[in-house]
Amino acid sequence: MFPLTILGIYGKNTVRKTISTTFFLYFACLLPSIAFGVLNFNNTEGKITVTHMIIAQTFGGLWNGFFGGQPLIVLLSTAPLALYIKIIYTITSSYGVDFFAMYGCVGLFNSLLLMIYSLTGLSRWMRWSTRFTLYEQASDSQNLDSHMFTPLVRYDIWSTEEIFALFISIAFLVDAAKDCHKKFQVYYVCKFPMNNLGSSDSSPTSQMSVRKIWQSYTSNVSDFVVNGTHSHPETQLAFGCSRDVALLYLLLLLGTVLFALYLFNFTNTPFLTARKREVLRDFALPISVLTMTLIGSLAFSDIKLQPFSVSSADIRLKTAPFHLLNWSAFAAAFGLAIPLSLLFYMEQNIASAIVNSPANKLRKGPANHWDLLMVSLINLCLSVCCLPWVHVALPHSPLHVKALADTEERVEMGHHIRQTIVRVRETRLTTIFSHLLIGLSLLMIPTPLRFIPPAVLNGLFVYMAITAVYDNQLFERILLFITEQSAYPPSHYIRRVPQRKIHLFTLTQLIQLTALCSVGFAPSAYVELVFPFILVLQIVIRHTIIPRLIDRKYLEALDRCY
């Protein structure tokens, strides 16, 4: 009989946890894949489609599930990768270079660099992004002034991880807010975006072209609402001023978030039995997504929401025509691959550090070098087949760990209650099963996937952004600025570090977070190319500037786990 313990299938409630986590990953990966597929479709004028995105997601997830060293990490295409694809398409359009050839070449160089990083053990350098290497004292004394430390236990707690994880949550919230604002501008305020139609000058020729485009939009509105194929959906009902569309969009977004959070925290209520409360918590995201989709599609069927612009699935793939590139194009591709490889490298190691945090109590060790090699091989295949790239995603990876975990509430200092992970089911099955379902979703294009309202997708993003900061120590220390001192949580660093030093440490991290946001949300796509270098700069700041501001003994106290 096959030992199921090898697959992590053992213990109480394991089957239920496996099923609930499978559906959690299914929705958490499929909906962003559709969204980024639509974004890539618009940015590349149809060269990369939603179908390509789903195929890439399925391939990357299954490869990682079968061969990855740490299968709990989640691979996904993200906004920075969509931005990179847009930059490559813009450059190739400007210089008359074949897009797929350049895209594949950049991907090949990126994979080659990642292989070099992996085979040379470059992931070991990421230890410098930790706040400090901590050691347990040889004696039971807790005197911070003592320097008699024996290297019995080493904690790799990341300063960069806290900042980057909070940045990802902010990015999700900002994107959802932008989409909601756009819908209200078009449908509620009735502000027609004339700058999308052409020149803003008042010449007769310009006015004539605007009128023609206006007539074209008004004559094709019904076709867009039915088929979802209009190239400018943000303007398709502007003239109608359909305020009910904007209000329903907000209702579905907030409903998805609030309903999912309510179910996620349902274990804190006295309703039903403990087992049923835990079941509802495990299935919080799938239940909320399906419920709000049914409400938007059936209960308000008379209100025409914009569906995803998803066409019928076309499984045909092509290989990158590298022979169309000259030597200058190869050189440009290598230059573009350098910051891209740094982005992959940093996100891979940061996400791996979060997943393998001692607080998660994982029994199997990390495999940073092997995982980086697997990501390079995955993207090598995707580049050759002209499919979108994937890399380790936040906050999906740590949320995957939490979904498979058993937690319990522990009382600290007599009054403070904290959720603590007891054990995590370290299984590959959830990743494999969820991505098999994602692959089967190709059969549901365009129906019924296009019935999922985009508002529900943004609600999913907001939900993941909120739940991702629950255990973020940086976020907890930010709240200390507005918390009465007598109500501070009984964390060990609060009892050992002066309040002024705690706030100073938090301020330095907020400055670093502001720098990330300034580059990450820059209006120019080319400015965002330096984002990976800003991530690397966080490590330099942590080990050159901050130790000059805060004493080592206080930094060590701040760095220890709860």
Question: What pLDDT, on a 0 to 100 scale, did the predictor assign at position 156?
Answer: 36
Give the pLDDT of residue 196: 44
In 10 A of CB 419, how many CB atoms? 14
Euclidean distance between CA atoms 91 and 100, whole angstroms: 12
Number of other CB atoms surrounding residue 479 within 10 Å: 11
Q: Cα(208)–Cα(204) distance, rounded to whole angstroms?
A: 6
- Tell me the residue ranges of DSSP E strands in 136-238: 136-137, 149-150
What SS3 class is residue 267? helix
Token pair in block for residue 77: 């295409």
pLDDT at 57: 93
Distance CA 487, CA 501 (A): 18
- Taking the C-alpha atoms of residue 359 and residue 415, their distance in angstroms, rounded to an integer, is 21
pLDDT of the residue at 388: 93
Residue 292 tokens read as 């709000």
Please answer whether residues 120 and 335 qualify as being in contact, where contact means their C-beta atoms are separated by less than 8 angstroms: no
Q: Kindly give the pairing relationship between strand 416-424 and strand 405-412.
A: antiparallel
Q: Which two tokens stand for residue 404?
A: 């498979």
> Domain segments of the chain: what residues?
4-190+241-559
Neighbour count for residue 389 (Cβ, 10 Å): 25
Output the CA–CA distances (angstroms, integers) from residue 185 to 180, 235, 355, in the order listed. 9, 10, 40
Asked whether the whole model's pTM tops 0.85, one would answer no
The confidence score (pLDDT) of residue 8 equals: 60
Closest residue by Cα to residue 207 from 219, 191, 220, 194: 194
Q: Which residue has the tokens 């050992």?
A: 496
Distance in angstroms (rounded) separating the CA atoms of residues 235 and 416: 51
- Residue 377 and residue 119 in contact, taking contact as beta carbons nearer than 8 Å: no
- Rounded Cα distance, 349 and 213, in Å: 49
Say what the pLDDT of residue 220 is: 43
Which residues of the chain register pLDDT less than 50? 1-2, 5, 129-158, 194-239, 414, 561-562
Query: Helix, strand or coil for residue 265?
Result: coil
Closest CA to 346 of 526, 474, 165: 165
